[in-house]
Amino acid sequence: MGHSDRPVRDCQHFTVHHEHGSQAGYTQDGCRCTWCTNANTVAKRQHRTALAYGTGGGLVDAAPVRKHLKALRAAGFSLRLSRSSWNLRWRSPA
């Protein structure tokens, strides 16, 4: 597939506009122009490098969430798992 054969797609989203030459253009709009393809390649390479060095992965510190959940439990809230939909639901103190 040559460069001229690549599908070029403009952004079809109403709330945001993805520019050509961005990873979003490649992943969310399906554009395969040279600029969007290069942007996606660079972003993937950076992500793999970050994972290899242990600086990536998208994980964040869970301590603030644990603190917030502990405060909710102390205030009388309880957490239930709804088996029908596997959703967690908070029950307020009665």
The two structure tokens encoding residue 61 = 């510190």
Q: pTM for this one? A: 0.51
Task: Extract the tokens encoding 43.
Answer: 């972003």
Please count the other Cβ atoms lying within 10 Å of the Cβ belonging to residue 70.
Answer: 10
Give the residue carrying structure tokens 């957490």.
Answer: 79
Closest CA to 35 of 49, 45, 25: 25
Model confidence pLDDT, tens digit, residues 27-76 = 887 888 888 888 999 999 998 898 888 887 677 788 998 999 889 888 88
- Alpha-carbon distance values, 60 to 13, 53, 56, 83 (Å): 29, 16, 10, 28
